[in-house]
Amino acid sequence: MKFTLKFFLYLILLCVFGMLLFSFISGYEGCMHYLINAIGEAARADKIMELVAPDKFLILQSIGIFCIVVLASILVLFEKIWSQAAAVFIYFKRQIQLLVTDLLYTEVKWVLVIPLISSVFFAVSMPVSYDEAWTYLQFTAKSPLASLCYYPAPNNHVLHSLITNVTRYIPFFNPLLCLRISSIAVSFFCWLICFSFIKKYYSKNSSLLIVGIASMLFMSVYYSYMSRGYGLVLLFFIVSLYAAYNIIFNADQTRHWLIFSISNVLGFFTMPSFLYVFIILNLVILLNNGLRIKKQFFSNAAVLAVVFVLYLPIIIINGIGALTNNQFVKPIARTEVLEKLPDFFSRMISEITGVHYLVILLFILISILMLIKNKMKFELILLVVFLLAPAILLIGHAVIPFPRTFNYYAFVFVFAMVIPFGSVLGKKSVGYILLITLCIQSACFFNFYYSIEKYEGFNISYHEINKKITGRGSYFFTTVLFETNFLFENKTQGYEAEKLEFHFPQINVDADTLKGFDYYIVDKQYDFTKIKKPAYSDSRTNVYVK
């Protein structure tokens, strides 16, 4: 293993050196044309050349030189790094063994059955969503380089996109299931790790109840099958929180800081909004870890440095603004943020849990009183930080994001409601807790089942229309979202349209005057047709047939 890794590092060093040498010999144009042809994007050569201008190409060469220096340094210090890495590997191996033991020999396997069935059921039965279709067309169906370097919108959850570049090749699955399979796996392991975490620091009964309920809240189920990066964010949040507990209660050990750092890097690499998790958990550690800030400082510095390097291709090609200026979440005046916060938090709680926000707030208020009564100082501080941090962060950031930005609060809410009652739960049998948990899970399943049609309304209606119009015909679009879902379904069914015409920005249309296409797909806000009747229609879009 040691020899293989060292050989692999030498091989990477040789490859990077070779590519760098080739770039200097071939020059900008020669190297770019070769690369474009190699990744099969000759049709988009002009766009790629525009994105990777000569000045950015020079920066990429500089990064290549930096990588050679780093790889050479690693090889020089290989023996020392190997000994440290071997110790960490043994620790990771032990943790994995504990997870397998929990899965095989504790009741968590029964608590994970309904969440797993739910993930698979909805992954198979629900049609593609707009964001999934967009991810597939822009990243999954292209080279991993597109996922790594192209950031036209925050929809690129980079780590998730890279994973789908691999899972798209899974045999026997249809393209949509290939797209979703990683989310199912991530969700399963997320809640298994969560069980291990809560069991270690509280009790088996508490962990069964927390995992059972949190895993079946609306947004937990939704992102347990939906091909987006939010499942990864939840996973890395749980791992980071687990590491934070280990840091606080296990003498600030380096190995726990390493896990904290890795999970934060991966969370950031999934989406930049993981910054909120990073800040919240660092505050939790700072408030509970005494004056031991040296490792925290170096860990955070390492996290930010690695994240910067990982996002460097995107920064070079798309600019730093692609990451910092979310076109869908514009900064607003802080006074306006204050005005909108109550509505935002009510929507956030209801959307994440699938339960009316007043019910959740009532339970949390009771939990706070119980924490005070039981003198659970650490948990009280933890809950106060979690409850206050989002408001403070949003005011500081001067934005009102989408509620799903805080999807990991599905765990926080249930954790807050269960932990204060740990002593009561400890007096109940595991079988009783298991029965209660399974009943709640069943209720949550039906709640999701009857709510998802409204939540995914336009994606479902688009799918019904697309079943009737996909094929090799000619299509005219002046729509905001429909064309993305159509292109996904048409492509994954093996069709190639004879002719496609898109209008961005959208234009007003009178289908009575249009010719030359088999189908005219027009959003109703742009439809000024007077005579012709749509062949298919939903709440947003009309489809006319020639």
**Does residue 449 sit in the same domain as residue 504?**
no
**pTM of the predicted model as reported, rounded to 2 decimal places:** 0.91
**Does residue 437 sit in the same domain as residue 374?**
yes
**Does residue 59 sit in the same domain as residue 131?**
no
Helix (H) or strand (E) holding 388: helix 377-397
The stretch 121-143 carries a mean pLDDT of 95
Q: What is the pLDDT of residues 350-403, one digit of tens each?
A: 999 999 999 999 999 999 999 999 999 999 999 999 999 999 999 999 999 999
CA 211 to chain centre: 20
**Does residue 422 sit in the same domain as residue 350?**
yes
**Does residue 311 sit in the same domain as residue 204?**
yes
> Where a domain ends, among 458, 491, 520?
458
**Does residue 412 sit in the same domain as residue 493?**
no
The stretch 510-522 carries a mean pLDDT of 94
Does 465 map to a domain? no
Percent of the chain with pLDDT over 90: 73
CA dist 311 and 309 (Å) reads 5
> Where a domain ends, among 79, 95, 118?
79
Asked if pLDDT for residue 136 goes beyond 80, the answer is yes
**Does residue 152 sit in the same domain as residue 207?**
yes
Does 88 map to a domain? no
Does 92 map to a domain? no
Does 87 map to a domain? no
Q: What is the pLDDT of residue 78?
A: 84
Q: What is the pLDDT of residues 165-174, one digit of tens each?
A: 999 999 999 9
Does 5 map to a domain? yes
Which residues does 320 contact at the CB level (< 8 Å), separation at least 6? Answer: none
**Does residue 439 sit in the same domain as residue 329?**
yes
Asked if pLDDT for residue 476 goes beyond 80, the answer is yes
**Does residue 418 sit in the same domain as residue 536?**
no
> Where a domain ends, among 79, 96, 122?
79
From residue 465, how far is each of 105, 125, 381, 536 by CA, in Å? 48, 16, 52, 7
Does 463 map to a domain? no
**Does residue 233 sit in the same domain as residue 122?**
yes
Asked if pLDDT for residue 63 goes beyond 90, the answer is no
**Does residue 289 sit in the same domain as residue 410?**
yes
In this prediction, residue 155 has a pLDDT band, given cuts at 50, 70 and 90, of: confident
CA dist 393 and 372 (Å) reads 26
CB 451 within 8 A of CB 478: no
Percent of the chain with pLDDT over 70: 99
DSSP states of 80-116: HHHHHHHHHHHHHHHHHHHHHHHHHHSTHHHHTHHHH
Does 263 map to a domain? yes
SS3 255: helix
- Domain of 522 in residue numbering reads as 470-545
| Largest CA-CA distance found in the chain, in angstroms, rounded | 79
SS3 402: coil
Domain count, the chain: 3
In this prediction, residue 16 has a pLDDT band, given cuts at 50, 70 and 90, of: confident
* Residues 403, 409, 410: CA angle, nearest 5 degrees: 100
Q: What is the pLDDT of residue 74?
A: 85
The stretch 172-194 carries a mean pLDDT of 96
The stretch 515-536 carries a mean pLDDT of 95
**Does residue 479 sit in the same domain as residue 426?**
no
